[in-house]
Amino acid sequence: MPKKYAYELPEHRVDYGVRIPVEDLKIDEKAQRVLNEPRARSMANNLVPEALGTIVVSQRTNGDQYIVDGMHRWHVCKLTGIPEIVAEVHHGLDQQEEAVLFLIKNRESSKPTPLDEYKIGLTAGIPLFVDTDSALRKRNLSMGSTGTNMVGAVAGVLRITDLYGPETLERTLKVAEDAWGRTKETWDGMLLGGIGMFLGKHGDDIDDRVLSERIGKKDPAFRWRANITALASAGGTRHSGTGSRISTCYTLIVTEWDKGRRKENRIGS
């Protein structure tokens, strides 16, 4: 299925091989991943200056220069006393466009964590992330380490938005909460993924209240998760990746929905 969301940038001037004093460069935390100090110190301890490479910099209209990609190499220069660094300089981008450029540059290389990508995607104003954040906020939820009010399954939640739209994500979150309450286990990625797949495929014919009652009555969230993991792996004899677990959850939801229904009204018939 083709992606509905894409990263785009306006045409702009780019200069290559520009030497910039390290002390002149700035960091915009909203358009960057979190600095990993131990990683930077390890890089500094094993640095080969000739292999430092080129970083990516945005020179804004006021002349300020912000690092887009290469923050750890810049920090290594500070730690080792290297005064200048070579950069690929992009001109005229604003903060939002810098965030987009960061995501483009890191899409095929050393990728940021899903949560970092989500945070920077919001700064970039990319619809996939903005729409997902809006659906979460409507349920008084946010993205982060999984807890009663935070969802940690970043990739899984984004996948629901990407495949089925933010309305389906919001329905998914409500069905999960109505079924199992607002708990850490409720926001498990494979549970949300299974509900999202079910609503994405059959949502027009589904009463969300009935769905939440049926799956909530069967088992609490932690037991659903244990059953799905066991079935998806089949004791270690099958592939047990995330996609397999989500498909298993979907199949179990179909089974619960179809119980007591005439054959012609069953989704799985």
pLDDT of residue 8: 86
Q: Phi and psi dihedrals of 59, rounded to 5? A: -100, 110
Percent of the chain with pLDDT over 70: 93
pLDDT tens, 213-231? 999 998 899 999 999 998 8
- Going by pLDDT thresholds of 50, 70 and 90, the confidence category of residue 109 is low
- Please give the torsion angle defined by the CA atoms of residues 238, 268, 157 and 147, in that order, rounded to the nearest 10 degrees: -80
Using pLDDT thresholds of 50, 70 and 90, give the confidence band for residue 269. low
In DSSP notation, 170-232 reads HHHHHHHHHHH-S-TGGG-HHHHHHHHHHHHHHGGG--HHHHHHHHHHH--HHHHHHHHHHHH
Q: What are phi and psi of 62, to 5 degrees?
A: -85, 5
pLDDT in tens, 118-166: 999 999 999 999 999 999 999 999 999 888 999 999 999 999 999 999 9
> Tens digits of per-residue pLDDT, 38-87?
999 999 998 988 888 999 999 999 999 999 999 999 999 999 999 999 99
Enter the pTM of the model. 0.71
- Whether the per-residue pLDDT at 15 is higher than 90: the answer is yes
Q: Position of tokens 């920077």?
A: 120
What is the spatial distance between Cα 134 and Cα 137, in angstroms, rounded to a whole number?
5
Number of residues written out for the chain: 269
Alpha-carbon gap, residue 251 to 198, rounded angstroms: 9
Strands 65-69 and 84-91: unpaired
Helix (H) / strand (E) element for 78: namely helix 71-80
Instruction: Supply the pLDDT for residue 264.
Output: 82
CB 153 within 8 A of CB 146: yes
CATH code for the domain defined by 14-111 = 3.90.1530.10
Q: What's the chain's Rg over C-alpha atoms?
A: 23
Q: Domain map of the chain by residue range?
A: 14-111, 126-265
Q: Between these two residues, 138 and 236, which has the higher pLDDT value?
A: 138
Q: Which residue has the tokens 């799956």?
A: 215
Name the pLDDT band for 252 (thresholds 50, 70, 90).
very high
The span from the CA of 138 to the CA of 134, in Å, is: 6
Rounded Cα distance, 121 and 153, in Å: 16
